[in-house]
Structure 1
Amino acid sequence: MFYTGGLPYNFARNPYYRSSYSYAATYTIQGYVPPGYNALRTTLLQKERAHFERLLKPIKDFWLENGVSIIFDGWSNPQRRALINIMAVSNGGLVFIKAIDGSGEFKDKHYIAKVLKDAIKGSGHEKVVQVITDNASVMKSVGAFIEVADTRFASVVVMLKRLKLIKRCLQAMAISDQWASYREDDVGNAQKVKDMILSDLWWDTVDYILEFTTPIYDMLRVADIDKHCLHLVYEMWDSMIEKVKVAIYRHEGFEDDEYSSFWGMVYYSIEWLLEDPKCISPHRDHEISMERSKCLDRYFEDENDLREVKVEFATFSRWRFPSPDALTDRWALQPLVWWQYHGSSFLTLQTLVLKLLGQPYSSSCAKRN
């Protein structure tokens, strides 16, 4: 069990595990016959699957009203087999759908599209809000999803944090006798590295970089979860960008109302808009409006529902609420809570919004499983 079944060694410390062997060695269970090969692979397996389906039913029933996201990610197991994990994530929790052994398959866009369609069909196409994949080229070539941006890892920030943590060790290394012998391999680079490690100015620059990038890094870490937090993005962004501004202005010695060119590059600003006449603020962006219309046209197949949601959206955009609390609560409540409490005035739009805000936006759950 431990060497071929993959059980962790800590399991041997479990008192129930140990007592089961003692009981089996001491007592005879009258009439007990261990399950045979055929029963294990047929009837007992079917019963076990049915048992798990009953456990998952409350979660899957949740999908119709609140929507579900299909998470799709490829990986290689210890035997170097190419596997594809397919998960379903919603407010109700994470459900493993299946793992596909892609060994020997030519994983082109046609193969990937078929796998995705099967996963959507198996979960119920009317329940699926979105599909999240990685940014592999074959995923992009499928052509069914919106590509927001190329993936960017924070490895540079992580490395700088690590360098700062071991600063004293690095400096001791650079002045050691062993470093002097290493210099013979590449004198120029070795001296450059030594000068940087021993430079207070260089370490001050590292501190400054970490000071204004840490809030960004922390927000990315919070967002990289398998729970729904799309409705928290704006609040997290506001908090993050304010911390970045404080770090930059403190370093540059500026007052809050003064202009910082570096801050202007980091943050969405009027100066950024004026750099290019094609840049306009989001609420006047034609492309955003067109994409929203395309989304609504595809989602609402019934013309009456489509017309209703357009009217509701126009009313919502003008902040025409029957309750005065709805206007003040937009600053006090999280968006998901606001729509649950005040959204009944825009019933069709509320249904769509709650499905959207209830979804994750990371494939991390597939990677961790």
Structure 2
Amino acid sequence: MAVCEIGPMFLKAANCEDEVKDKHFIANLLTDSIREIGPQNVVHIITDNGANCKAARLLVEAKFPHIFWTPCVVHTFNLALKNICSPLAHPKYNDVMEVCGWIPKRFKEIKQALQQMVISERWDMYMEDDVEKAGTVKEKLSNELFWLDINYILDFIAPIYEMLRITDTDTPFLHLVYEWWDSMIEKVNIVIFRKEQRQLHDASRFFDVVHGILVDRWTKSSTSLHCLTHSLNPSKQWLQEVPVRVPPHQDFEITKERKICLERYFPNDMEIRQVNVEYANFSMFLGDFGGSDSMNDR
């Protein structure tokens, strides 16, 4: 599949039957497609987060330095959500993560039916198989604190699910990914701290675990291309959401990664110098970017 300004298009199907899908096989498939399309027409390639795909990235980028690899954002969020909802993945925090052992949306939808089930006359018949387990189920379903936990889990997972939903599309959104990650983490932060009745500057052991998982996934999946496209996104409304946020040109990490990206696109010293001047004008509203029309169009 390829995506361009007019939308997605199907290129070809590859028969991978009986093939060892190692880094060389995947790199050869990608290289053949790039050459078929024309390297000058390819900005970046997207695969899942598998180790073989990440290794293939290095082989492809060695042949085409101007082409960047990024992992599938949807797959990245799936992995993050799986980590958050798996207490076995965090033996140090079993007590903290127990509340997230599963996603109970379906439980909330059928809450009334479940409660009616455990108070019905037939429930005594069901209890005969395992009285202890049946008693535990009845106690849980009749306990309002249990349902408050259900609502809490759904509330703090909602921003992650929303990100997963909006990124599962063929529409180009590379320039929005960095901002979306930041906004999503802040929304999760607010939900957890509200539940724990803490101020945002306080410490939360539970949020530290969730935040660590999300940041770890973002660190593994982010590239300098994300930083460049984020820097070139003229919209700044998202800066108002959190007071500590700064524009991309004032962020050290983004600036460093943006320079790495631009140097791959423009290896010539004269070209990169001119590009840096243009970006400075863009960031500071100087030159042609300082005109009223240009500023209003942001």
> TM range, normalised to the smaller chain?
0.5 to 0.7
The answer to whether the 8 Å contact 1:241/1:267 transfers is no
Residues 112-137 of structure 1, C-alpha deviations (whole Å, 9 max, x = no match): 11001011111111111111111223
Cα deviations by residue, 1:59-86 (Å, 9 ceiling, x for unpaired) = xxxxxxxxxxxxxxxxxxxxxxxxxxxx
CA distance in 2, matches of 1:160, 1:320: 52
Q: Which residue of 1 is the match for residue 14 of structure 2?
A: 100
Match of 1:284 among 229, 235, 252: 252
Matches of 2:29 and 2:119, distance apart in 1: 57
1:210 corresponds to which letter in structure 2? L
- Counterpart residue number, 1:11: none
Change (3 A) 1:188 1:140: farther
Q: 2:163–2:180: 8 Å Cα contact kept in structure 1?
A: yes
Aligned to 2:38: 124
Structure 1 position 177, deviation (Å): 5.5
Q: Give 1:199 deviation, angstroms.
A: 1.0
Q: 1:233 to 1:132 in 2, by over 3 A?
A: closer
The structure 2 residue matched to 1:306, chosen from 272, 280, 294, is 272
Please report how far the alpha carbon of residue 299 of structure 1 lies from its aligned counterpart in structure 2 after TM superposition: 1.8
Q: Distance in 2 between matches of 1:169 and 1:102?
A: 47
Query: What whole-Å deviation, never above 9, does each CA across 1:190-222 have from its counterpart, x for those lacking one?
Result: 433332222101101211232343234223312
> What is the alpha-carbon distance in structure 2 between the residues aligned to residue 238 and residue 326 of structure 1?
29
Q: 1:206 aligns with which of 145, 150, 154?
A: 150
Question: In the alignment, which residue of structure 2 is the partner of 1:192?
Answer: 136
CA contact (8 A) 1:212 1:248 kept: yes
SS in 1 for 2:43: strand
Q: How does 1:57-206 map to 2 (within 5 A)?
A: 87-144=1-58, 145=69, 151-153=76-78, 154=81, 159-176=103-120, 179-183=123-127, 185-206=129-150
Structure 1: which 5+ runs fail to align? 1-86, 273-280, 339-369
Aligned to 2:292: 325
Aligned mates of 1:187, 1:289 — CA distance in 2: 62
Q: Is the 8 A contact 1:174 1:194 kept in 2?
A: yes
CA RMSD of aligned residues (A): 4.0
The code of the aligned residue for 1:309 comes to V
1:114 aligned partner, one-letter code? N
In structure 1, how many angstroms separate the alpha carbons of the residues matched to 2:130 and 2:76? Answer: 35
Q: Which residue of 2 aligns with 1:64?
A: none
> What corresponds to 2:263 in structure 1?
297
Q: Partner of 1:151: helix, strand, or coil?
A: helix
Contact 1:120 1:128 in 2 (8 A): yes
Determine if contact 1:321/1:327 at 8 Å carries over to the other structure. Answer: no
Residues 232/135 of structure 1: CA separation in 2 closer, same or farther (3 Å cut): closer
Map of 2:242 onto structure 1:
none
Q: What SS does the corresponding residue of 2:14 show, helix, strand or coil? A: strand
Structure number with greater Rg is: 1
The superposition leaves residues 241-300 of structure 1 with CA deviations (integer Å, 9 ceiling, x where unpaired) of 67656655665567xx875544975999xxx9xxxxxxxx98123xx5554333223222
SS in structure 2 of the partner of residue 89 of structure 1? strand
Q: Per the alignment, in what secondary structure is the counterpart of residue 105 of structure 1?
A: coil
- Report the residue type matching 1:131 in the other structure: I
Aligned length: 231
Instruction: Describe the shift of the 1:304–1:203 C-alpha distance in structure 2 as closer, same or farther (beyond 3 A).
Output: same
Match of 1:225 among 166, 169, 177: 169
Q: Distance in 1 between matches of 2:106 and 2:57?
A: 39
> Which secondary structure state, in structure 2, belongs to the residue aligned with residue 99 of structure 1?
coil
Matches of 2:72 and 2:196, distance apart in 1: 33
Provide the rounded CA distance (Å) in 1 between the counterparts of 2:47 and 2:255.
25
Normalised by the size of structure 2, how large is the TM-score?
A: 0.61
Task: Tell me the CA shift for residue 172 of structure 1.
Answer: 2.7
Secondary structure in 2 aligned to 1:100? coil
Amino acid paired to 1:295 = C
Q: Distance in 2 between matches of 1:325 and 1:295?
A: 30
Cα pair 2:27 2:56 within 8 Å, conserved: yes
What percentage of aligned pairs have identical amino acids? 40
Is residue 77–residue 164 contact of structure 2 (8 Å, CA) maintained in 1?
no
What is the rounded CA distance, in whole Å, between the counterparts of 1:324 and 1:265 in structure 2? 44
Question: C-alpha offsets along residues 75-118 of structure 1, whole Å, 9 cap, x if unaligned?
Answer: xxxxxxxxxxxx01122111100111111212211111100101
Counterparts in 2 of 1:183 and 1:238: CA distance versus 1, 3 Å: same
Select the structure with the greater relative contact order (CA < 8 A; seq sep ≥ 6): 1
